[in-house]
């Protein structure tokens, strides 16, 4: 019984982990995109210091 219970628990945890990983990856990708966009905007900006 205990073993049987443990299997779905572990599987749930693995699912949650992979979900978290993919969410973090999405966030990191979005962060990078925004950084690149900001960098482009800064290059066009006539101000040499902010």
**Token reading at 36:** 């690149």
Dist CA 2 CA 21 (whole Å): 28
**DSSP code of residue 4:** H
Residues interacting with other proteins, by CB under 8 A? 24, 27-28, 30-31, 34-35, 38, 41-42, 44-50
> Which residue lies nearer to other proteins by CB, 11 or 25?
25
Between 12 and 21, CB nearer to other proteins = 21
In the complex with other proteins, the residue whose CB is nearer, 13 or 32, is 32
CA distance 14 to 8: 10
């Amino acid at each position: 019984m205990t073993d049987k219970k443990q299997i779905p628990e572990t599987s749930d945890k693995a699912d949650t982990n992979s979900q978290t990983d993919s969410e973090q990856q999405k966030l990191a990708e979005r962060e990078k995109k925004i950084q690149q966009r900001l960098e482009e905007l800064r290059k066009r900006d006539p101000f040499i210091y902010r």
